[in-house]
Chains A and B, each alone.
Chain A
Amino acid sequence: MIGIAALAAGAALAVEYAADGADRWWAPAAGREFPAELRYANDAGTLTTLNTAAPVVTAGNAFFQPLGSNGRACITCHQPSDAMSLSVATIRRRWADTGGRDPLFAMVDGANCPNLPPEAAASHSLLLERGLFRIARPWPPRAADGSVIKPEFAIEVVRDPTGCNLDRQYGLRSSEPMVSVFRRPRPATNVKYLTAVGFVFEPKNGLPLPRDPESGERTSGNLMADSRARTLKAQALDALRTHLELHGNPTPAQLRQIIDFESSLYTAQSHDRWGGSLAALGAAGGPATLRDARAGDLQGTAAPIWKEFLPWQQLPAAAPGENLEQRAFRASVARGAELFTQRMFLIDDSAGITNMGFGNPVRNPCAFCHNMQRTGMDTAPGQVDLGTTNLPHANPSPELPLFKLTCDARHEHPHYGRVVYTQDPGLALTTGRCVDIGKITMQSMRGLAARAPYFSNGSARTLREIIDFYDRRYHMALTEQEKQDLTNLMSVL
């Protein structure tokens, strides 16, 4: 900790942490107080989280309690320093600090497969090298009510470097067949945007969004990579039973505490090491904008996404002695914001975009899909096959499993035909539909600088690698300047 900004009635209002401070790690049941504002230094600058329910006494709060049998709590994988997600840098530091004995490395999903030697770093290589947790999905898929969904495709294991998909206890041939895929944890913050319903209809399947039977409210479909849980309650239950190995049920009060806590958080980068304050000279970066705005608004010509940074398009004349690096960085961010909505390219063979009437290909900018104001999520909601997991577009990943999915005679993938090779079938593991193979729900673009690596399978180690992937995948032919501007934009979100 490097400073406490203010004190009121004994409670810290704002607490700032250094990039290398030992107290960056929030352990379960540590009894710390979660203040109104937390600031964490990172390579790009400072990340800030606002807590509208502050101060939260974490002692006894279910989000911070090891409710299951493996010592983990929600906070284990949703760390404030990492935008309520978990960076691979933090994971490695935790391994070094604890000799791999932290509950973070629980064998259930913190290892490549539970049957490997727990003490060996190699057993946890996907977590240590790519920040990936094992997600075991039942096969065939189950509906929310537990009934079996008849899939439109058969699944075969082509490559199994972790050994888990062919394992007699944990694999597809076990008594309870499971498909193991490996994914990054999603940020448990800015939750009102994750659950926001933009339009009542989902353009990707033409149907109105389903309602939560308990609350009667429509569900956004934007919560999880494969949309297996559509409400915060369902997500919490899924996480408690799998990641925390809770046997039985949490109490209603515990579920309420978890949902209330994560719903009170707003997180964004607030300062840049070159650009300074992200809310200076008319810009509106930082988490306060997220806290104060309505969620679910669609961007458009009159109100383009990332307009928060467009005031930096017209910086006042340079003053004598002005920091020119800061000025150049701010101008670059503003150009990146404009590119995001104006730089057109051809999007092709991307199910969830190009098979629903827009045409294949379709000319559009980044903001076509990343269209929800202030987060860059898809209001639609955003299950799309970008090619991050489906071949031939996925990056080579010998360390990940490869599956061969063969659609039955009545179905096929709209762009790949009846046979699709994929590292992660994504949404199709929830729906059993061929059209959904490799679709991964877009996630919020906030706090990116604090939570590398990126994409659901951690295949982009840096923000620049995200841009490089898009440039290659969609033949964008971005200039070096454009790549830098877009990278800078993403670093301040």
Chain B
Amino acid sequence: MSGRRRELRRALAAAVAALPLAASAVEPPGGTVVSFVACPLYRDTDHGRKSGCWLADDPATGERYDVSQALAKPQLDREVLVEGVVAAQDHACGGIVLKPVRTSTLVTHCRGAMLPAEGYPGRAYVSPAQGPPTHGWEERDKPLPPPPYERRQITVQFHFGSDFLNYEYAEVLLETAARYARASGARTIRVTGYAATRPLWLSGHALSEPLTLARSRAEMVAEALRRLDVDPRRIVVSGRSIAANDAGTGPLAEASKRRVDISIEP
């Protein structure tokens, strides 16, 4: 082992030792945040389209959580990283409701269970509030944002281990960024991807993202901007690990670190 690798390994071990082994519940302002890894459960409720319930049991506490309001839903045969805020209780699905909540499908297989409705109604599907994406026939006619143009940053968040641009979320941000870049005649559009390379210990799993993911996230965003007619010569792409002092933002601070920042500089 080279000196550099030994040094990295010692630093990693120190960092891991500093983390609680089952740090699955934190109390920030605004509600209790829970994070854990579990095999998801699907409750087959019928309240119209997309109305089935997604549940997950926290191995550390045994509590059952309702994660149905996540943007990207789990897959029954894959473990899932749950990160959410305990919200006001309801009885739609039969679990403690997490909202906001993010569920990241992991590569590890598991055997999830299908539960009957057992009297739970589920929830009617509600489209996300960001507004519909542009239709093909209105793309060229949509007015561009007016001046003044100043430096603007738009952040696109990602699920753990993934560079997938999620439908009903990312397209609204990417369209906004592209249209602002085009309207302002931006000289530089910096697309910086981040990966959570420091291990996060949850439910007996050491979760860390490869550094290469930072770059591939940024490349996905840059490709989207190019396809939205942003001048490719002005796009600067980079990827890096999340800084140790990066505390994240919002109620799901840890999850918010897995992101791409688009900095538009007129």
Contact = CB atoms under 8 A, between A and B. Distances in A.
A415 B48 CA distance: 25
A344 B167 contact: no
B139 interface: yes
Contacts of B46: 344, 363
Contact of B77 (A358, A360, A364): A360
Contacts of B51: 363
B50 interface: yes
A234 to B, nearest CB: 18
B71 interface: yes
A151 to B, nearest CB: 18
B52 to A, nearest CB: 5
Contacts of B220: 206-207
Contacts of A368: 49
A196 interface: yes
Interface size class of B (residues with CB under 8 A): 35 or more
B134 A359 contact: no
A208 B77 CA distance: 29
Interface string A208-245: 11110000001000000000000000000000000000
A364 B44 CA distance: 12
Interface stretch (B21-29, B191-199, B223-231): B223-231
B64 interface: no
B136 A363 contact: no
A365 interface: yes
A357 B134 contact: no
* Interface core residue of A296, A348, A360 (most chain B CB under 10 Å): A360
Interface in A352-381: 354-365, 368
Contacts of A150: none
B206 to A, nearest CB: 19
Contacts of B50: 358-359, 362-364
A114 interface: no
Interface stretch (A7-15, A120-128, A197-205, A330-338): A197-205
25 contacts: A196-B136, A199-B134, A200-B228, A203-B168, A206-B164, A206-B220, A207-B220, A209-B227, A211-B227, A218-B136, A218-B139, A294-B137, A296-B136, A296-B137, A344-B49, A348-B76, A358-B73, A359-B74, A360-B73, A360-B77, A363-B44, A363-B46, A415-B75, A415-B77, A417-B109
Interface of B: 42, 44, 46, 48-52, 54, 71-77, 107, 109, 132-137, 139, 164-168, 170-171, 174-175, 220, 223-224, 227-228
Interface of A: 196-201, 203, 205-211, 218, 294, 296, 344, 346, 348, 354-365, 368, 412, 414-415, 417
